[in-house]
Amino acid sequence: MNFQTERLGPHMAAAVSGIDLNRLPDAPTQAALTRVLHDNLVLCIRGQALAPVPFRDAMAQFGVPVLRKQLAQTPECAEVNIISSEDRDVLGDGKRLVNGANWHTDDSFMREPCSLTMLYGVVVPSVGGDTQFTNMYAAYADLSSEMKARIDGMQVIHKYSSSRKLSRISTRPAAEMAAMPEATHPLVRTHPETGRKSLYLNPNRMEQVVGLDRAESDRLLDMLIAHATQPRYEYRHSWRQGDIVIWDNRCTMHKANADYPDGERRLMHRVIVAGTAPY
Ligand code: SIN
């Protein structure tokens, strides 16, 4: 299967076209798509029209899809979550909820966070609703050698409902919250497939650096977040209907924008695939 590739941002993100994922790619094509993703961190596959089951099946070529019940699931396929302009905090105040409105990487409160996230633009607004990405390889590479020596080997506690969180998160049943995992992860991680080092931050889930007092931990995390979210590390994806955007949570952070006109709809289907414990 042949496809065309176009670079999207100056240092990350590529789009491919000429593929219809209703037919699963053959092995060399799939390997080529995975290579484009590893080289570019964010891969957009243009022009798709996929029902939930074929979407899940196509994404399963990149990894093993996992269930997440914190987001609504499509009736046709439980591994396909729904992110929508109609999302509300139904168990809480009932108000509108914008999932992922602040910088984050998916799932870092889990011991084995998902490796990739795939978002499929089923309905996209006429303007706005972009997703922003930041390149955590580049953010790490640009740190001074003194800072690298200081933070290499540091561990950070991540929690679902961290006391540092910036985003409103959906209210979950008490039993689910009590069972919600937390995890300790390295502040600098090595990508298991590319071997490259990146900063591993999640402003929404990080609680504290192990071994630092709270004030010192907050100072360090705030400084690293400010560094990693500078515009020079960013790619901003402006959605076209039918885009599937796949990103690597091991070397990027991302953020949603709810800045589209009132009354316009934005409907995304999401699949995430399993990862391993960061090291
Ligand atoms: C997310 O953070 O997973 C959602 C991103 C988006 O809706 O743009």
Expressed in angstroms, the distance from the first to the final Cα of the chain is 35
Task: Check pLDDT > 90 for residue 39.
Answer: yes
Residue 278 included in any domain = no
Q: What is the domain range of residue 129?
A: 4-273
Residue 258 CA to ligand 1 centre (angstroms): 10
Residues 6-34: tens digit of each pLDDT: 999 999 999 999 999 999 999 999 999 99
Answer yes or no: are the C-beta atoms of 66 and 81 closer than 8 Å: no
* CATH value at residue 223: 3.60.130.10
The residue nearest atom 1 of ligand 1, judged by CA position, is: 100
pLDDT (mean) for 77-103: 89
Task: Residue 74: name the closest of 267, 275, 274 by CA.
Answer: 267
- Distance CA(250)–CA(192), nearest Å, equals 9
Q: Answer whether 254 contacts ligand 1 (Cβ < 6 A).
A: yes
Query: Running DSSP on this structure, what letter comes out for residue 17?
Result: E
Q: 279 lies in a domain?
A: no
Query: Separation of 104 CA from ligand 1 center, angstroms?
Result: 9
Phi, psi of 199 (to 5 degrees): -70, 140
Residue 271, strand partner residues: 118
- CA proximity to 164, closest of 112, 225, 106, 234: 225
pLDDT in tens, 113-140: 999 999 999 999 999 999 999 999 999 9
Residue bearing the CA closest to ligand 1, atom 3 = 100
Within a domain: 19: yes
Across 27-43, b (16+ Cβ under 10 Å) vs e yields eebeebbbebbeebbbb
C-alpha 131 – ligand 1 centre gap (Å): 7
Tell me how crowded residue 145 is: count the other CB atoms within 10 A of its CB.
7
Q: Which atom of ligand 1 is nearest to the CA of 257?
A: 8
Contacts for 31 with CB less than 8 Å, ≥ 6 apart: none
Domain count, the chain: 1
Q: What is the pLDDT of residues 181-198, one digit of tens each?
A: 899 999 999 999 999 999
68, part of any domain: yes
**Token output for 75:** 């009736």
Q: Is residue 18 part of a domain?
A: yes
Kindly state if the Cβ of 256 falls inside 6 Å of ligand 1.
Answer: yes
